[in-house]
Amino acid sequence: MKPFNQYKRFFAFGCSLTKYNWPTWADIIATEVPEYYNYGQSGGGNLFIANSIVEANLTHKFTEDDLVIVMWSSVSREDRYRNGKWQTPGNIYSQGEIDMEFVYKWSDDRFYLMRDLGLVEQTRAYLENLPCDSDMLKMVDFEEIKISDNIKGNHLEDILKLYSSTINSVKPAIVDVVYDGVWPIIPIKGWGGEGQTADYHPTPLGYLKYLEKFYSITEGMRKYAEEYDARVLECKTLDDTVKFWSAPGVARL
């Protein structure tokens, strides 16, 4: 992989850890690349992510001047395309949109792991046959099924063994590399000051620390992360983060 500033376009894929209310790892990298496309979506699962990569390539025709990086999400998510857009409610065990009758009847840890590792393997092979440079990151370990209560899935060893080369092609999880397996607690309330009382997404400096483990970081990337980290920590509610994306130099899809 070349230094980030040697690419003409950068494409990022993932869930809310890729595109959120404040700058993520993708936005930090984008400060070095002239053209930026962020296909992340809150709650997005790996079906949504894999499909987005194919659609982006068919639309933009990835070239040797492009960089594609995906951050895979947790596996126990149910994505659907309905009413003209992707519906991505998030982890099946903690979301509030899909009827619990469906969850009790159809949720299955082995299915989620087989489905998503198959998608990761197909995506890996797909990207390797394109002229762009690419890399794969992950939010949590793939076997971390029920992330809401941090319980590791059981009886999955045979699937993990079968897909061991696939798993090894993805860099270690940000929650482990930066936070020793426990998500940070940011004292930011929800929209209008209601709902959530804290946020568990990494702040810009957390993302920078993750990127530093695998890539060369420029002074510009560091300054960007430091500036926005301070701004995030000043926010009282998610409403306060809206101003970030009207600031000069912040690239979004």
**Domain assignment of residue 216, yes or no:** no
pLDDT at 96 over 80: no
Provide mean pLDDT across the span 63-90. Answer: 90
Crossing angle of the two packed helices 109-128 and 46-60, in degrees rounded to 10: 20
Provide mean pLDDT across the span 186-207. Answer: 92
- Determine the pLDDT at residue 80: 83
Provide mean pLDDT across the span 73-99. Answer: 81
**Domain assignment of residue 223, yes or no:** no
**Domain assignment of residue 156, yes or no:** yes
pLDDT at 132 over 70: yes
- Determine the pLDDT at residue 154: 56
Q: Please count the structural domains in the chain.
A: 1
- Output the domain CATH number for residue 145: 3.40.50
- pLDDT, tens only, 144-159: 765 444 444 457 889 9
**Domain assignment of residue 221, yes or no:** no
- Determine the pLDDT at residue 146: 56
Q: Please state whether beta strands 85-87 and 80-82 pair in parallel, antiparallel, or not at all (unpaired).
A: antiparallel
Q: Which residue has the tokens 């999955």?
A: 156
* Token pair of 84 as six digits: 């003209």
**Domain assignment of residue 170, yes or no:** yes
- DSSP tag of 193: G
pLDDT at 22 over 90: yes
**Domain assignment of residue 87, yes or no:** yes
* Token pair of 20 as six digits: 């959120």
- Determine the pLDDT at residue 194: 83
Domain boundaries, position 129: 4-182
- pLDDT, tens only, 163-181: 999 999 999 999 999 999 9
pLDDT at 6 over 90: yes
CA–CA distance, 252 with 26 (Å, rounded to integer): 10
pLDDT-based confidence at residue 195 (cuts at 50, 70, 90) = confident
pLDDT at 191 over 70: yes
| pTM attached to this predicted model | 0.89
CA–CA distance, 183 with 162 (Å, rounded to integer): 29
**Domain assignment of residue 57, yes or no:** yes
**Domain assignment of residue 102, yes or no:** yes
Provide mean pLDDT across the span 124-148. Answer: 88
